[in-house]
Amino acid sequence: MSTPDFSTLVARHRNYFRSGATRSVKWREDQLKALRAMMTDRAADFHAALWTDLRRNRTDADLTDVKFLATEADHSLSHLQQWMNPLSVGTPPMLGPARIEVQFDPLGVGLIIGTWNYPLMLTLSPLIAAISGGNTAVVKPSEVAPATADVIARLLPEYLDVNAFSVVLGAKPETTALLEQQWDHIFFTGGTAVAKVVMTAAAKNLTPVVLELGGKSPTIVHSSADLRVAARRITQGRWNNAGQTCTATDYVLVFKDVAKQFLEHLKKAVVHSYGADPQKSPDYGRIVNTRHFDRLTALLASGTLYHGGQHDREDKFIAPTVLVNVSPESPVMQDEIFGPILPVLEVDNVEQVIDFINARPSPLGLYVFAEDQHVARQILDSTTSGDAAVNDCTIQPLIPDLPFGGVGNSGMGKYHGEWGFRAYTNARGVLYHGTEIDPDLRYPPYRNC
């Protein structure tokens, strides 16, 4: 197969950007309204695709993908003019008369590389940010969620300005060829290994990047926690989308004195949510493909099965699984699990928790369940993560004004709401200096006083 050549496509979008068409408030608002209409008018198409790719039920599909994106477009529409307004900056007396401000200029042509676990949210949410910033973009959905990718490719040109936006389908050859082009911004969601390839390609042209990765997000259950609530919220956060969520609890550190009670509550919460036979639950998803199924089932031997463990390769089903007696050196503790397996490890004190977390790469999320707010504050102040939550987990990306993104190994850059607008604009400092006063002291020849 010949290598695709996307130079003409990128040039077309760059010429359109340079025409100035994308800079106006009206154009941005029109595109945001069109994207919102797409999510509303064609919701059934997206629901069907998400069920095909991930067996995602309609309620979860609306919460994290379909209605979520319509709501996010609405949020941007409501705040766009405010975000676009220049920021006034104080003027040093020696420069008077003058006015100083920061204006937010569009970057240009962006490349958005989506991922498969939330194939709408994590592909089109960056597009909302790009539109808000006044940019054009090429969207590359994940080939691992082919039904959703096909719907995006079919519908997006029907609703959005085709001079500004394109969708490219394909796999590694297409992504590699896209990365060879010169971009003004690259947004990538996925794993660390591919992120390094993306960043290497971006470095050739000093292209700015946002990398949304993942990592092993820890959840701490302290002795003071409301164990029933903690178990219910961890159950939802861990096993929604069959655990294939970048912000999901990856492992639990529970204090020994409440470990037994917590595990009992956790088992009850799982059974209540998905039934005694979760394979029959209409609310429980499937592993995206057999490659990931095989990877995950190999991890089941990393500890003692406390609950779950059933699996069916033909159905790509793995039950919500809790492992205990897990060694920190075991395979399940080495990389992000990204599936429905939850290791639960016991700890003695807060210091042990902090040391355990800090000995590992910075995670995307960090969650503390504790009614003792001093303990929660101590853990947050002594660790690093992209985002965090106290007495909840996983759901922080749904908050439109909260900056979402990783740190260190879990990514770089933030988006959603105004943070996405800022990611797709250049904060350009501008000095407007009057000519009424022009003192000689500024110019040579200088005279020593």
In angstroms, the CA 182 to CA 203 distance is 10
pLDDT in tens, the chain (449 residues): 566 889 999 999 999 999 999 999 999 999 999 999 999 999 999 999 999 999 999 999 999 999 999 999 999 999 999 999 999 999 998 888 999 999 999 999 999 999 999 999 999 999 999 999 999 999 999 999 999 999 999 999 999 999 999 999 999 999 999 999 999 999 999 999 999 999 999 999 999 999 999 999 999 999 999 999 999 999 999 999 999 999 999 999 999 999 999 999 999 999 999 999 999 999 999 999 999 999 999 999 999 999 999 999 999 999 999 999 999 999 999 999 999 999 999 999 999 999 999 999 999 999 999 999 999 999 999 999 999 999 999 999 999 999 999 999 999 999 999 999 999 999 999 999 999 999 888 889 987 75
Looking at the DSSP assignment, which residues form a beta bridge with residue 211?
188, 412
Domain 7-213+406-432 has CATH 3.40.50.1440: no
- Parallel, antiparallel, or unpaired: how do β-strands 321-324 and 304-307 relate? antiparallel
In angstroms, the CA 131 to CA 32 distance is 7
The 8 Å CB, 24+ separation contacts for 23-29 are 23/106, 23/134, 25/80, 25/81, 25/84, 27/134, 27/161, 28/80, 28/131, 28/132, 28/134, 29/77, 29/80
Q: Tell me which residues are annotated as active site.
A: 212, 246
Residues written for the chain: 449
CATH topology of domain 218-398: Aldehyde Dehydrogenase; Chain A, domain 2 (3.40.309)
pTM: 0.95
Residue 237: phi, psi to the nearest 5? -70, -35
Domain ranges (residues) in the chain: 7-213+406-432, 218-398
In angstroms, the CA 303 to CA 324 distance is 6
Residue 283: phi, psi to the nearest 5? -100, 0
Structure tokens at 249: 């609890």
